[in-house]
């Protein structure tokens, strides 16, 4: 269809500006993190690794980082099998009960996190789970489950179920048929779900604000507290590392999904 040049240019300009707006924060964080001064001048007067040294040399930041990484790994280890089993059930049983269970499993995406966070805070306070690793892991498994389930359900949709039935009719039991026939073909979806659950655990801040603390303080809680008090440029270096890490993970997950499709 022919559209005259001027509207097309104007349209392109609008889209370009919105894209710049979208990319601006990421683009600004990286040079800031290499700045030599504490003051937030742009462009930075000179380059240095000062804020990275500050981050890697500070035991508090390191403790938070170790805690967040451990939390991410534990969350993935629990949420991935639980979510995959639930996704398998959802795509195999198309009855009313399963449809309502599916809805229940999506609740973490529906209920505002702040409400879940204070609810969990109240319950944990009664159970003595505040400032414990168990409490944090459980909360993050809950948040990660919808990601794993959504990803694996999508993967199972494009998988031909008769293959598993054939394997079973040839004498394999159900678990073995799933592990040797189905799982290898949906592994990219499982992996993508696991990656999203990991990123969600690393990024989670609101629940951590209420229930993490002491030696179990997450990186995001420390960052939030630091941001509330003053703007510490160390956060620019942490942000750059976090962004680079989640970007690489997402690329990894997506390239896996592409190959499968």
Partner 1 sequence: MSAIDPSLAHQRREQVLMTLLAAPAVLVIVALVVIPVGWLAAQSIYDNGFTLEHYRRIFTEEVYWRSFALTFRLALTVTLLTLLLGYPVAYAAAHAKRPWNVLILACVMLPFWTSVLVRAYAWLVLLQRTGVANQLLERFGLITEPLAMVHNELGTVIATVHILLPFMVLPLYSTMQKIPRDLMLAGASLGGGPLYSFLRIFLPLSLPGVVAGLTLVFVLTLGFYITPELLGGGRTVMISMVVSRNVELYAQWGAASAVGVVLLACVLAIFAAVGRIIPLDKMLGQK
By CB under 8 A, the residues from 49 to 88 that bind partner 1 are: 82-83, 85-86, 88
Smallest gap from residue 42 Cβ to partner 1 (A): 4
Residue 119 in contact with residue 128, Cβ under 8 Å?
no
- Out of 191, 216, 223, 237, the residue judged to bind partner 1 by CB under 8 A: 223
Helices (H) and strands (E) in the chain, counts: 13, 0
- Out of 65, 75, 150, 237, the residue judged to bind partner 1 by CB under 8 A: 150
Beta-bridge mates of residue 213: 216
By CB under 8 A, the residues from 108 to 147 that bind partner 1 are: 108-116, 118-123, 138-139, 141-142, 145-146
Residue 137 in contact with residue 212, Cβ under 8 Å?
no
Q: Which residue has the tokens 């629940």?
A: 207
- Out of 63, 131, 205, 257, the residue judged to bind partner 1 by CB under 8 A: 205
Beta-bridge mates of residue 216: 213
- Out of 51, 61, 210, 216, the residue judged to bind partner 1 by CB under 8 A: 210
By CB under 8 A, the residues from 29 to 48 that bind partner 1 are: 29, 32, 39-42
Radius of gyration of the chain (CA): 23
**Interface with partner 1, residue 181, by CB under 8 A:** no
Q: Which residue has the tokens 């048929």?
A: 177
**138: Cβ contacts below 8 Å, ≥ 6 apart:** 129
Closest CB to partner 1 among 180 and 247? 247
């Amino acid at each position: 269809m022919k559209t005259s040049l001027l509207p097309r240019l104007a349209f392109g300009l609008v889209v370009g500006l919105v894209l710049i707006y979208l990319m601006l924060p990421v683009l600004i964080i990286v040079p800031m993190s290499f700045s030599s001064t504490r003051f937030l001048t742009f462009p930075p007067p000179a380059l240095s690794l000062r804020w990275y040294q500050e981050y890697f040399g500070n035991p508090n930041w390191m403790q938070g980082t170790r805690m967040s990484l451990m939390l991410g790994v534990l969350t993935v280890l629990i949420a991935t099998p639980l979510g995959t089993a639930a996704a398998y059930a959802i795509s195999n049983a198309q009855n009313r009960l399963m449809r309502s269970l599916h809805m229940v499993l999506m609740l973490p995406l529906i209920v505002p996190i702040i409400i879940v966070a204070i609810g969990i805070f109240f319950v944990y306070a009664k159970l003595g789970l505040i400032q414990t690793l168990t409490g944090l892991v459980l909360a993050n498994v809950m948040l990660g489950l919808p990601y794993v389930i959504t990803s694996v359900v999508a993967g199972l949709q494009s998988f031909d179920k008769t293959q598993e039935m054939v394997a079973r009719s040839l004498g394999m039991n159900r678990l073995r048929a799933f592990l040797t026939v189905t799982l290898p073909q949906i592994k990219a979806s499982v992996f993508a779900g696991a990656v999203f659950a990991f990123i969600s655990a690393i990024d989670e801040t609101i629940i951590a604000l209420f229930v993490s603390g002491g030696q179990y303080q997450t990186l995001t809680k420390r960052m939030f507290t630091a941001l509330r008090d003053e703007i510490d440029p160390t956060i620019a270096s942490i942000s750059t590392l976090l962004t680079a890490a989640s970007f690489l993970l997402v690329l990894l997950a997506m390239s896996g999904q592409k190959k499968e499709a």
